[in-house]
Structure 1
Amino acid sequence: MMNSSVPEPRSPDAQGSPELVHRRGNGDFLQVGTDGLTLTTAHCTIVAADIVGFGQHDRNDIQVRIRHGMYEAMRAAFDTAYIPWQSCQHEDRGDGVLVLVPANVRKRLLADHLPTALVEALSLHNRAHPARERIRLRLALHAGEVNYDQHGVAGSAINHTFRLLDADVLRGSLKNSPAVLAVIGSAWFFDDVIRHGEASQAKTYRRVEVLNKETITEAWIRLLRPPVVRRVPDAQSM
């Protein structure tokens, strides 16, 4: 469910013409017409995450704990990356989450800080939990126009993001890797955001071809391993 509710529709005027109503006072508008309530299109940065192996049979009894861990890691990573979690809209996807970041939040933050912050949050979770509850994520980054209505969100940019997230090439990249996070950036997001900053480590991404349903495109993948934890020698062993 979205983390912000949509107000009840207002009745159209006597002529049946649509009425524009401010939503939360943030510049978005609700368009009210005879066919129901819709929100005008807004530009967002789109983040989609998916838990690797969530549906495995031996994890059925702990899915709630795994989902809780994912949300805690995502929330912590966003806050660490200077992207307030509460400023975004979230839509639960069962084995993952869709996050819509407002246009006034710099996309550079998602390229420069979010991947490493998320790896750190996942690593903290994994070190504190048994193997069955450890989490690895696929993460897709894109941006575009998003349509809102009282049921959720839709739009070609949303579809494109999930085509990237579900791509076989992304799933395959994690099969024999110790990485805890696989990031896939759309061609647009890589060209316009990732490759323009040193902190985004653009050289660690590799170009791939994505073939998924109606989508044929290129994208860029980066695998991130957990940080190495160096143990301090015990005084008795010195």
Structure 2
Amino acid sequence: MTPRQRSARFAATTAALRLQVRIAGMRAARQVDPQHRSIVVIDMADFGRRTDLAQLHARTSLDRVVNAAFRASEIAWHRLVNEDRGDGMIVFIPATVSKAVLLHPFLPQLITRLRDYNAQVGAGHRIRVRVAVHAGEVVHGPHGWIGTDLNFACRLVDSAPLYQALARQTQSDVAVAVSEVIHQAVVRHGHRGIDPASYKPVHVAVKEVATRAWIHVPAEHVSANNHGMSA
């Protein structure tokens, strides 16, 4: 076989493989239905200022803290899908778990465990997080979960009002933004002792998103065992 013939055969084989991949992708896309999930996005503040080893330690510690907070809220970790964000994570919670549980007890459990962790480490290793809570339809594709509602949750956690809220409250370890969906379904009704007045409306404008969200910075004295708390 001449070099030209080998080149032509290689090109034909490559084209055939690309066509097979494209057809498989189209079939998969047709067969995948959206699934309803609650979405919690957690992002560490000032992560890029840490050294590589400090980032690794902080990320590992955050995993343990979040895992423990979910377990303490009686949400088994194996029921969740956790996707890495480098400086944080995206957690998908099944529709069978009440959205109210994500604001109480999960949120106060997260606050308590972060406070306990930070009390044991130096100021340079303190972990502070921005949290976004939303719910909607997502699709599981070949490379993970996708969807407009997932994009929206990520926009919330990256929004300027949430950054500013955590920056202002230097004694707090957590600042939370909830979507209008979560506010209407949970917060405004005061489920589980949540104080609706502690969630402040803000305008979020990030990329394709321009909407109202609600920001809450839990008080430093909040206890995970306080069922009348304002988270």
**TM-score under structure 2 normalisation?**
0.80
Please name the residue that 1:20 is paired with: none
Deviations 1:132-167 (A, max 9, x none): 211001000000000001210110000110111100
Of 181, 189, 193, the match for 1:188:
181
Give the fraction of aligned pairs with identical amino acids, expressed as a percent: 32
Aligned partners of 1:69 and 1:76: how far apart in 2?
11
Pair member with larger Rg: 2
The answer to whether the aligner puts 1:49 opposite 2:51 as a matched pair is: no
Aligned partners of 2:215 and 2:25: how far apart in 1?
45
Aligned partners of 2:25 and 2:211: how far apart in 1?
39
Q: SS of the counterpart of 2:127?
A: coil
Superposed, 1:45-194 pairs within 5 Å as: 45-56=38-49, 58-177=50-169, 178-194=171-187
Paired AA for residue 185 in structure 1: V
Aligned partners of 1:227 and 1:71: how far apart in 2?
23
Aligned partners of 1:34 and 1:189: how far apart in 2?
33
- Retained in 2: the 8 A contact 1:112–1:194? no
C-alpha change, 1:228 and 1:112, in structure 2 (3 Å) is: closer
Structure that is richer in strand per residue: 1
Q: SS of the counterpart of 2:138?
A: strand
- Retained in 2: the 8 A contact 1:179–1:223? yes
Structure that is richer in helix per residue: 2
- Out of 189-198 and 90-99, give the one that drifted further: 189-198
Superposition RMSD in Å: 1.9
Paired AA for residue 79 in structure 1: R
**TM-score under structure 1 normalisation?**
0.78
Of 200, 203, 212, the match for 2:206:
212
- Retained in 2: the 8 A contact 1:113–1:200? no
C-alpha change, 1:213 and 1:201, in structure 2 (3 Å) is: same
- Out of 58-67 and 144-153, give the one that drifted further: 58-67
Paired AA for residue 204 in structure 1: S
Shift of 1:173: 0.9
